[in-house]
Amino acid sequence: MKANSSSHLRQPRAPGIITPNRWLSERVFNTIIGCFKRHGAETIDTPVFEIKETLTGKYGEDSKLIYDLKDQGGELLSLRYDLTVPFARYLAMNKISNIKRYHIAKVYRRDNPAMTRGRYREFLSDFDIAGQYDPMIPDAECLKIVHEILSELELGDFRIKVNDRLDKLDKMSWEDVRSEMVKEKGLSEEAADQIGQYVSMQGGKDLAERLLQDAKMSQSKQACAGLTDMKQLFSYLELFQVTDKVVFDLSLARGLDYYTGVIYEAILTQNGPVSAPETGERGRRV
């Protein structure tokens, strides 16, 4: 987020004065942490670096974005790519089987920054639920948390897109993805066009129910399992009263190897009232 300023010169500031950026940062994190705590989460901490072997193979093609450190006296280390793998290691080392945790800390991506597309080299904040639960209950709670935070921050109108793990449609046009499927993956043009019909669909519980009756979808056990999960998820979201902002979007996909179920992301759909400073961007991932 970028603060707008009418001055081209930076004026000296006395120690302790809250600048617009600092004010915004404190408000955002207080809102986020407050929401996490309301949902019963506790905070933990993990090292900023990991043994390279621990991270290798966890992120699929995105492994190339991991920052590697030089040999540290025989140890090959890397900066953490996200807070999920360190969290899994933390659970294993401490033999924890059930926990809600939030983690406010930096992670790093060796990527080409593109501010208007929400692509950075540093990211913050994570919330996870670990344990045995009935299907879709933790996912519904996480979506409610996203809904609560974005509503409280008053950044403007937003949508939360959800799908089951089927990552390129958010980076490339469908025409480019189709071309890759046909020319590089060997998929027939007919099959690629059939996929294109599905990835353009959006809806809610009604869409999941309709696709469960679809002749082609019903032939795939994996597709039926995912659609059944979507239907159950939206039933819980109705109870949480957050379906007004959540959409089942079949174009949403992710490439990280450890994603095994529901995936989601939130986007701002328009500029909204923000008590200074303003964001000034549209459609940014949150």
Three-class DSSP labels, 105-142: EEEECCCCCEHHHCECCEEEEEEEEECCCCCCHHHHHH
Contact between 22 and 47 (Cβ < 8 Å): no
Residue 11 is encoded by which pair of tokens? 């004026």
What's the start-to-end Cα distance of the chain, in Å?
10
Chain segment 197-230, per-residue pLDDT in tens: 777 788 899 888 988 888 877 877 877 888 899 9
pTM: 0.74
Angle formed at CA 142 by CA 137 and CA 143, multiple of 5 degrees: 100
61-115 tens-digit pLDDT: 778 888 888 776 778 888 998 898 889 989 999 999 999 999 999 999 887 777 6
Residue 142 C-beta-side C-alpha neighbours within 13 Å: 21
Strand partners, 130: 99
Amino acid code (one letter) for 250:
L
The CA distance from 111 to 119, in Å, is 8
Q: Which of 18-27, 88-97, 150-159, 246-255 has the lowest mean pLDDT?
A: 18-27
Strands 49-51 and 42-43: unpaired
**220 or 256, which is more confident?**
220
Angle formed by the axes of helices 137-153 and 20-38, to 10°?
Answer: 150
- Both structure tokens of 120: 């950075």
Residues 142-171, mean pLDDT to the nearest whole number: 84
158 has a pLDDT exceeding 90? yes
Percentage of residues in the chain having pLDDT higher than 70: 77
**Residue 228, SS3?**
helix
Is 280 within 8 Å of 236 (Cβ atoms)?
no
Q: Name the pLDDT band for 271 (thresholds 50, 70, 90).
A: low
Which amino acid does the sequence have at 279?
A: T
| Residue 44 pLDDT greater than 60, yes or no | yes
pLDDT band, residue 10 (cuts 50/70/90): very low
- As a residue count, the chain comes to 286
How many helices (H) does the chain have, and how many strands (E)? 8, 9
Could you give the CA distance from residue 149 to residue 124 in angstroms, rounded to a whole number? Answer: 15
Closest-CA residue to 99 (of 128, 67, 121): 128
